[in-house]
Structures are given as structure tokens and as C-alpha cells.
Structure 1
Amino acid sequence: MPRTPGKFILISAPAKINLYLGVHAETDDRGYHRVDSVMTTISLSDVVAIAPAEELSVHTVPAADYPMEQNSAYRAARAMGEAFGREPNFAILIDKHIPQQAGLGGPSTDAAATILGMVTYWGLDARDPRIDAVARRIGADVPFFLYGPPAYCDGAGDTVREMFRPLTGTPVALVRPQGPGVSTAEAYRRFDESPVALPPLEPLLEALRKHDETEIFANVANNLAPASCELHPAMAEALAWIGDQRDVRASAVAGSGSTVFAICNTQMAAEAIVLAARARGWWGEVAQMEKSGPYISVG
């Protein structure tokens, strides 16, 4: 049933890390690279508040430095309205905790949370194929965030092919050096100048099917990372640094960057890495791998 008008809901919108990112050299008819991606959500999250209103509005805390019409949540709401023939008249407020241009999926998870909120308010069938079509229209990672468990996606990284048992509670240290983030478009352009071979994918998928953590973390890979590190030398420094820390099971660049992450043996090890990173003047947060995508926390 549709949500009672006038009441707001809060939706947690988790970040993600890529256990695998494989960018193919060839592109499709749309000009998009074929991408194989294995992602898992983590506990770091934005919070999206949504309520019926006289017109659509989207605001963020802290305030964004670009028009709200460019916000992924605004575009998702407009696309949902077009897909279902309704006016998307909602007030949306996003409490931002996921850094911008960090490779953690902030805009995509906010869009997915907005879609979930509208599905709830309008009483839609979550299996309606128009919902997934809207998600793919907004961004490559958005369909993944509608589901939540670790998943293998292909196409342009926007088609969920297989989901796996969650690695719930696994500690992760997130580190982002100072300076501007990495533009995904710029990272792909640099990749095109000097493509990097695809890392093996099947060993990771087999390990995920068996829930073999040792093999999963032994096969973490990202072939877009060299291009991103060329654009952001401080990230390359952070990646080398985090991989040398104690009790690290695997380390990699998150998406196209500029965050790097370490999967750790213990929560204490993750906390120590983050404290050391902050002492160097870098942003750092401790997180854990999660089992779900956006979910209604209040309302």
C-alpha cells in the first residue's frame, strides 16, 4: 500500500567498494566501456530523508556547490515520474557522509535510495522492470544499490548478473588523500591512452560462490587503478602505504578513486590504519562490509 501522505521516511544509503573492477578496452554502441564489476556495500552511508511536497526539491547537508537539477537524486526522481506517469513531488534532503569523487558510489546510492523511497510512497511493485530501467538510466552502479548483497555486474557495469552471500562484518579501512578527487571520465580517458589487461575474474567468482574468504581477498583487483593513480599521485602514494600496513588481507583503489581501501583481519587493525592516515592529514574512516543496499531506517 502507498505510504500515508505527509509523513517522511529516512533511508540509509550505503557506500560500496569494488572487490573487482575490470575495464575492457572496447566500447559499445553508446560509447561506454564494457565493465565487469564485483561490488559489496559497506557501513559508511548517506541518509536520505524524503517526504511529499508541492514540488520536487533536493538539498544536501553540507550544501552542494552545483544546481540541484544535477543531483543524481533529482534526476532519479524525475526519471521515476516519467516512467510511471506521476508528478515526483517530493522534498528530498541528503545528509552526506560519503565523500564526492571518492569511488565509493555516493551519487549512485543516493539515487537508489530516492528510487526506493518513491517505490514505497507510491506503493509500487519492487519487481516492476521500469524501476531497474530508471536505475540504469541514472548511473552504472545504481541497479546494484537497489539490491545490496555482493554482486557481479557486467555490461557497462549496470547489469546485475549474480549475487553472493554477504561478507557481513568484515572490517575495512578507507583512506582518501587530500586534494581534488578523480573524475571518472578523466580516468577512462587516461585508461584509453594506455589500456591495462583484464585481471582474472573467474577465480574471484568461484571463491564468492564457495564463500572462501581467503581466495576472495586473494583475487581483489582493479585495472583502472593505474590510470587513476597517474591522475592523482597522492592516491598512488596512499595505495602503496595502505598495502604495507599490518593485518591487511587485500588493498585496492575504490572504483576510479580517489579512495583506497584495505580489507583487514581485525577491527583493531582497521582502526589503527585510519588513525595513522588521519595523522598524515588524510581522510580516513573505518567501515564494515554490509549485507544490504538502501533500506528504510525510520518512517
Structure 2
Amino acid sequence: MPAKFILITAPAKINLYLGVHNERDEAGYHRVDSVMTAIDLVDTIAVAPADELSVHMVPEADFPMEANTAYKAAVAMGKVFDREPNFAILIDKHIPVRAGLGGPSTDAAATIMGICHYWKIDPMDPRIEAVARGIGADVPFFLYGPPAYLSGRGDAMQEMYRPLTGTAVALVKPLVDGSGVAAAEAYRVFDEYPSEPAPLEPMLEALRAHDEERIFANVANNLGEAAIRISPEIGTILAWMREQPDVRAADVCGSGSTVFAVCNTQMAAEKIALTALNEQGWWAQAAKMEKSGPYISVG
């Protein structure tokens, strides 16, 4: 008897390196170098065949389902493969939005993989990556899972690396509603106050050698300054995180508003998260670096 639905885990990400360049491509997008790794903070997505396409979120979203990246991904898959994407999609949301953790992008990637499962499409089909890139810059990364370097707009896969599985991470962001940072706003502020990216090659060399000490010594994000200008509390959190015991590196996630700290132990990450939540009143979560992208289980 065929399964009635499938469940897909959609992991969040952190940027070990983000370098935004001042020059833009012909479409007006900045050139971006991005090194990302998945973490074990996940959304869970249920996909089932239905009479028509629908997307719902728990907790319920404050925007129409047509604006959801999962909906857009399903529509794009239907157009590319000339089929009706008639699925009911339910997203159990745990990754905060406007947080720099890639929540909308990972939901889109998981939806794409779920439809591949039902339609028996090879996920390595080049049309799949084209669909992903059309939804958003981070979506192609989430199709795979290992740490990766992407160029172009941050959407062109260049290299993948041995996973840093199990490395402890603390995540902290402002708690106040509306304190998130929209990527478009971060780039607008970056254009007002541009800065040069940190050197990329030391990070790539460290990843190729799987030299964790050098990897974490080269964590950098020149878009983080824009996020801090938009939400100064992010800067307060970053300074606080860098002062905590057993922190190997700390920086802003993507365009904000989350700050991550790579920690020596899981206990240290959990202590930072508890202190941030209980004593500072921030949103906080302890996590670990993960090795996989979307994981499908049959319901």
C-alpha cells in the first residue's frame, strides 16, 4: 500500500564565511561568496498528494500561502516538468524567520525534494538546481547538505567539504517582534556603507584540509555590519557572545538577525543559550553542525 504522505526534515544553516562584493551582475545582484554548513535546528515538512496545491504553516503565517517559498517551489516544479503540483504541504516551523538561518530557503529545498520523490525525478537532474536558484540564493545549498562554497549570487555551487558533524553551536537573536532583518534591507544598508569582504582563500584552504582551528579562525561576514546598523541589539549580542567561555568564533548569520557562536563543547553552547534566554531575555538555541540536507521519511 503506498504511503499517504512523506515527512522531510529541513535544516537551518549558518554562514562560516559571507563575502559581499561591491560589484553587481547584469541583473543588479551583488557578487557573493558564501560558505555554509547545515545545523540540526530543523523545520519538518509533510507533503501528500491532493486535489490542489496548498501550503500551511504551524504556527500560522501572517502572509498568504502564495508568498511562501514552498508554494513558489511547487509551482516552479510544475512549470519545469509540465505537471500539476497538486500537493498539500504542511510546514511545522521551528527555524525563526528573518533570522539569517535560511528558513524559507530550506523549506523550498525540502519541497523540491519531496516532489522529486513523488514524481520519481532524479534530484541530480540539472533542472532541479535551476528551479532552486530561481527561488532564492541559498536554496541550492539545501539540496545537498555538506559544508559548501557557493559563488555568483551565493547560489552557484563550487565545492563541497567534509562535514563538521557534531560541532557545537549557540544561536542567539533579539526576541522582540519585528526585530528581524530582511535581506533586502541589509543589502540596501550595505550599499550605503560598503565594506570589503575578508580574504576567502584562507577559509577554502582550511576546509579542504579539514583544519578546524583554521576554519574557525577565518569565520567572517561583512554583511553583518549592515545588520547591526539596522538592529543595534545584534551588535550587543555579538559582543556578548564573543566574551563567553569556550567560544571558538562568533559572527552574524547571513543578513541577521541571529548571531552564532562555535563552541568547544555542547555543554558550553547550552550554557550560553540558557544564559542568553534567562538572563538577557533573547531568543536562544543550542545546536550542532549537521552533515545532511533534506531527509525524507515515508509516513
Superposed pair shares fold, TM > 0.5: yes
User: Could you list the per-position Cα deviations for residues 132-151 of structure 1 after superposition, in whole angstroms to 9, with x for gaps in the alignment?
Assistant: 10000000000000011000
Worse-matched range after superposition: 120-129 or 61-70: 120-129
One-letter amino acid of the counterpart of residue 235, structure 1: I
User: Could you list the per-position Cα deviations for residues 197-241 of structure 1 after superposition, in whole angstroms to 9, with x for gaps in the alignment?
Assistant: 110110010000000000000000000011110000111100110
| Distance in structure 2 (CA, Å) of the matches to 1:160 and 1:259 | 24
Matched, 1:27 2:24: yes
- 4+ runs deviating over 2 angstroms: none
State the 1:117 CA deviation. Answer: 0.2
1:95 corresponds, among 92, 97, 104, to 92
State the 1:298 CA deviation. Answer: 3.7
Q: Specify the alignment match of 1:244 in structure 2.
A: 243
One-letter amino acid of the counterpart of residue 276, structure 1: T
Q: Specify the alignment match of 2:259 in structure 1.
A: 260
Q: Specify the alignment match of 1:56 in structure 2.
A: 53
Q: What's the TM-score once normalised by structure 1's chain length?
A: 0.98
Residue ranges of structure 1 left out of the alignment (5+ in a row): none
| Distance in structure 2 (CA, Å) of the matches to 1:46 and 1:89 | 21
3-state SS of paired residue (2:204): helix
Q: What's the TM-score once normalised by structure 2's chain length?
A: 0.98
1:79 corresponds, among 76, 95, 98, to 76
State the 1:170 CA deviation. Answer: 0.2
State the 1:114 CA deviation. Answer: 0.2
3-state SS of paired residue (1:147): coil
Matched, 1:206 2:205: yes
One-letter amino acid of the counterpart of residue 97, structure 2: Q
| Distance in structure 1 (CA, Å) of the matches to 2:125 and 2:298 | 24
Q: Specify the alignment match of 1:188 in structure 2.
A: 187
| Distance in structure 1 (CA, Å) of the matches to 2:196 and 2:34 | 15
Q: Specify the alignment match of 2:290 in structure 1.
A: 290
2:172 corresponds, among 149, 170, 175, to 175
RMSD across aligned C-alpha pairs, in angstroms?
A: 1.0
Could you tell me the percent identity over the aligned residues? Answer: 69
Q: Specify the alignment match of 1:112 in structure 2.
A: 109
State the 1:247 CA deviation. Answer: 0.2
Q: Specify the alignment match of 1:42 in structure 2.
A: 39
Q: Specify the alignment match of 1:140 in structure 2.
A: 137
Worse-matched range after superposition: 121-130 or 88-97: 121-130
State the 1:127 CA deviation. Answer: 1.7
State the 1:183 CA deviation. Answer: 1.1
3-state SS of paired residue (1:140): coil
1:155 corresponds, among 135, 152, 157, to 152
Q: Specify the alignment match of 2:281 in structure 1.
A: 281
3-state SS of paired residue (1:214): helix
| Distance in structure 2 (CA, Å) of the matches to 1:297 and 1:164 | 25
2:127 corresponds, among 130, 138, 163, to 130
Residues 188 and 124 (structure 1 numbering): CA distance in 2 closer, same or farther, change over 3 Å?
Answer: same
| Distance in structure 1 (CA, Å) of the matches to 2:43 and 2:124 | 24
3-state SS of paired residue (1:97): coil
State the 1:129 CA deviation. Answer: 1.0
One-letter amino acid of the counterpart of residue 271, structure 2: A
